[in-house]
Structure formats: C-alpha cells, structure tokens
Amino acid sequence: MTRRIVSADIGGTHARFALATIDGDKVVAMDDPVTLKTADHGSFQLAWEEFARRSDEPLPPALAISFAGPVGGELLKLTNNPWVIRPALIPEKLGVTDYVVVNDFGAVASAVAAFDESAYTHLCGPDQPLPATGMVTILGPGTGLGVAGLLLGPNGAQVIETEGGHIDFAPLDALEDRILAELRKSFRRVSVERILSGRGLMNLYEALASLENRPTTIRDEKELWGAAMAGSDSLAAAALDRFCLTLGAVAGDLALAQGAAAVAIGGGLGFRLKDHLPRSGFRDRFIAKGRFERRMDALPVKLITHPQPGLFGAAAAFARRFS
C-alpha cells in the first residue's frame, strides 16, 4: 500500500521536515526538505505547525521522527537541545494516527539498510560494497556524535541504537595527553563527543592555543570551521588535524567493539569532511589497533553522501514498522 507520511529529523541545531512516499516496507520518494533552526521555535509542535504552514498539501496523519537522544520512556529529551517530546501526546497534539520515534543514528542505520552504493563514497579499506551479512558500525559527528550498529543477515536488518558518542576519550600520544588535561579543566569527564562534534573543534582549538601559549582569535564555530577547512589559520588547521585523527581512532575502536565487517561515516560534519578525510590521518588511526591492524585494514569504510540520511532513515523505519 502506498501512503504519504511526514518525516522529521530533530537534531541539536536544526529540525528538518519532508513529506515522503512509502510503498510497503520501502521509501519510494521524498520531497525537498524544509530546514528550521531549533532555536527559532519553542517546541517541536511549534516547528511542526511552521512546516504545515509552508507545506503545499495538508499534512498526512502519519509521522516518523529521527530524534537526537535516547528514545525510551515517557519524556524524550534531546541531548543538545532544550526541546522535549512526549510520545503519548503526539496523536493529540499533532493530529497523527500512526507514528514512530527512533534515535537519530538508529534512523541513519535504517537508511544504510535501504541505500544502494550510490549513497556512499569510498574512504579507506577495500573499495567494495558493504557486506550482505555481518555488523556495520555507523557513526558521525554533527552537533553531537551519533553511533549505531546495523546487523545484516538472511532474515533482514536489525538496527541497534546506542549512545556510543559518550564513551571516554582515550589519548593516543603525548600531545593528546596534554589536550585531555586541558579539557579536564572545563569538563569533569571528557567524552569523545567533546572532540568529535561541532563544538568539539572549538574545544580542540582552545586547548591547543593554551598549550602553545597563543591567543584565540576566532570565537565563532562557523568561522572556525571555515578557517580550518581552508587552512587559513594554522591553529584551526592543527585542531582539524586532531579532529580527523580522533575520528579515525574512535571509528576503529567502535568497529572492534561491535565486531564490524564494515563502517559507514555519516553526520553533517562527516559529509562536510568528505574531501578532507581521505587526505588526513583518519586511515592510519583507524587501523592502528596493534595485533588487529591487518583485520582493520580489511574493513571497507564508506562515507555517506546521501543529503538527508536522517529523514530517509526515519521514513524507512516507519515503513518497516507499519508495512
């Protein structure tokens, strides 16, 4: 049965909405998304109403939400956003009859389960498609650091939602020992998300400036990312180098922990770094796992290039639930 649904991807910075068409357990079409800043709206319901105002057609009574935080319980709180969602009130407040709420990287994992090879670019390891069976580790930096697992097998795909972005940061050289010491002055516990996120680059930049006894001349995160990517500021560029090294190390650690047969990198910043990561130290850190180095070098690592994996994945999760 073909039906229209609303797909929503709610993150720490943006709320994205799109109308999608599903047929059975597949997403067959997705309209252009509407992107709203979460800071401009007091709640998810108010953002929903703004999307309805902009829509060219009445919103269907079916909703899929990709949510940047844990999705269990009666009250859902975003990790990097003051919005809260009460799932039990969704039908009453939004006028929907069918809905599903999934973790944001659970949604990305659902998208990976549905994508073909055109949705990726090769990053490192063997240049071959993702395996038909086995575990795929999925992670990506954005406002936070999302992590999920996708177990592929003869009976279909199983999405494993996690909060792996909040594991401890483990320094791997003397400079990172010093960076960790600097970050501990601001954070009682330094998780990998303190580095692998939009704000994380600023944390690295400020830590390196302190270690170099240099002033920080860039205060805005957007400006910092621009300077780092362009290489126009040496301190910002050094922070980005450390960002990529850490992303490689963490991706490798998670792949080992999950027994992965492949890795997919997503997130808004992952996509932004698609041209930079292959030239960085990502691969060297990814495979640098001692006795498991040869195994790590045999894993295909892909970068998700689909523009809206969260929206697509939320719709895919809905399609599987209600097919």
State how beta strands 76-77 and 34-37 pair. Answer: unpaired
Instruction: With CA atoms as reference, report the closest residue to 298 among 267, 252, 238, 230.
Output: 252
Cβ contact 110:317 at 8 Å: yes
SS3 for 96?
coil
149 CB contacts (<8 Å, ≥6 apart)?
109, 135, 136, 137, 138, 159, 160, 162, 258, 260
- Give the residue among 266, 8, 287, 309 at the shortest CA–CA distance from 137: 266
Annotate 117-186 with DSSP letters as a single string: GGGEEEEES--SPPPSSEEEEEEEESSSEEEEEEEEETTEEEEEE--GGGSBP---SHHHHHHHHHHTTT
Whether residue 13 is annotated as binding a ligand: the answer is yes
Question: Alpha-carbon distance 269 to 291, whole Å?
Answer: 31
List, in order, residues 6 or more apart from 215 with CB less than 8 Å away. Answer: 209
Consult the annotation and say whether 42 binds a ligand: no
Burial class (CB in 10 A: 0-12, 13-18, 19+), 312: buried
52 is in an annotated binding site: no
Which of these, 103, 13, 5, lies nearest to 58 by C-alpha position? 5
198: annotated binding-site residue?
A: no
Q: Is 290 annotated as a binding residue?
A: no
Binding-site residue numbers are: 8-13
Binding-site residue numbers for ATP are: 8-13
